[in-house]
Every structure is written in C-alpha cells, then in structure tokens.
Amino acid sequence: MTERSRDSMQRDVHSFRVGPSALTWDGNCLEIAIHEIGMPVPWPVRGKVRVYPQALSMFGADLDAGGLHRWGPIAACARVEAEFTHPAIRWKGHGYLDSNEGDEPIDCRFREWDWSRATLTDGSTAVIYDVQPKIGDDRVIAQRFFPDGRVEPFTPPARHALPKTGWRINRRQRSDDDAPVSVIEQLEDTPFYQRAVLASGLFGQRVISVHETLNVPRLVSPIVQRMLPFRMPRFR
C-alpha cells in the first residue's frame, strides 16, 4: 500500500497504472500486476492477481445520511487467482471487489465501522456494513448479491461482540442468534484497523466471513499518523 502522487498515475479506458503497478481490464478479467516493496522490511512484492467477475454490479449505497461517502461492489461474486514470485505463493478461490469514495476526509463523518462479506451455499455474497457515525444513529447496510447480477436487501441479524484485538480495538459481527461467532484467523491487527476470518451464521447457514473494523479516531491520532509512513511509504 504505497501512497503516490498524481504524477505517478496513468489511465485509459482499459488500464490504470500507479507507479510500477497496474490494473488492466480485457472485458472478462481484471489483472492486477503488483510490483512493490514491502514495509517495514523492504522485501520485494511481485506477482499478479486475476479477478474474474460472475457479474458486474451498478449497486451503490450512501454510508452517511448526507451521501458524502459512498460504497458499492464492482464484482461481489467473482473467482480470483493469485500468483506471486516474491514471495513464492499462489492460490485461487472466491473473490470480491468493491469501491469506496468520499467528498471529505473520513474523520469528518465517522467514528467506527464493522464490515463483513460471506459466500453462501448458493454462490451469492452477503455483505453487511455496520456504520457508527460521529453524530446520529447507526447506519446498517445489508445486501445480498447473486451471481446473475441480482441484488436484494435483507434484515441483518443481531450484533455480537467479539474479543478485542491485540491493539484493544472493539469489534462486532452480525450473526444468527443460534450461531456463535468465533475468530478463525487474524489477518491484520494494527492500532486503527483489523481484518480477520470469522465463523458466523447467516440465513440459517454456518458461513465463513471476511471481517474488518476501522476505528477512525485511532486512524487520525497524531501518533498513528506519524507511524503510517513506516507501513505505507509515500513516493512521487
């Protein structure tokens, strides 16, 4: 996750280049060519990720009452193949691609959010965005995306508390009452953000969810802002 200036970007209708890395779309597959340096240990990161959408989505939702922040999946149901030379790893499986955008800094509007996605037995993807704004009531977006492009809202189940992360971030997950939530694997644990693989329940099914929590006050705190360049280097 290298931050780069506008001068390092190039794009046209089929491609988008950021520094030495690039995304290209051929109408069937989105290929992401990664050519970066890891941080804080400067190991090379070289490889390709290919995303094959089952359907492209035009769905979009406002994350705040004023519509200044928006989210929408591009390919909620997809097949993904990853092949890296550095490190030498490869895998394939279910994939997901979405987009977030905003007209103001994130800390102007939000305090925290929990987000999760799960693949159901029929191949559809259930996404829950559980947003806690700085002012006003919580906002919950729950949508089910089908491989044929259909989108249906659903009533999310109750919110369940999870154990705090190593950095003491509170986190929650929506799950059926008869399906306890458990952490299968912790993928990222930082002072302001966590990502994990959870076991939970949706639509009467036991599902595996990718789950994230963002704590915005932690993100914008002076000490975290000083730490970020050591994980997210900035180049022109």
Q: Other CB atoms closer than 10 Å to residue 224's CB: what's the count?
A: 16
pLDDT computed for residue 235 by the predictor: 77
pLDDT in tens, the chain (236 residues): 788 889 999 999 999 999 999 999 999 999 999 999 888 788 999 999 999 999 999 999 999 999 999 999 999 999 999 999 999 999 999 999 999 999 999 999 999 999 999 999 999 999 999 999 999 999 999 999 999 999 999 999 999 999 999 999 999 999 999 999 999 999 999 999 999 999 999 999 999 999 999 999 999 999 999 988 888 877 76
Task: Name the nearest CA neighbour of 126 among 95, 149, 153.
Answer: 153
Cis peptide before 53 (omega within 30 of 0): no
Contact 106, 216 (CB under 8 A): yes
Q: How far apart are CA 63 and CA 12, in angstroms?
A: 29
Point out which residues pair with 41 in neighbouring strands. Answer: none
- Per-domain residue ranges of the chain: 3-235
pLDDT computed for residue 236 by the predictor: 67
Contact 161, 145 (CB under 8 A): no
Question: pTM surpassing 0.85?
Answer: yes
pLDDT computed for residue 102 by the predictor: 96
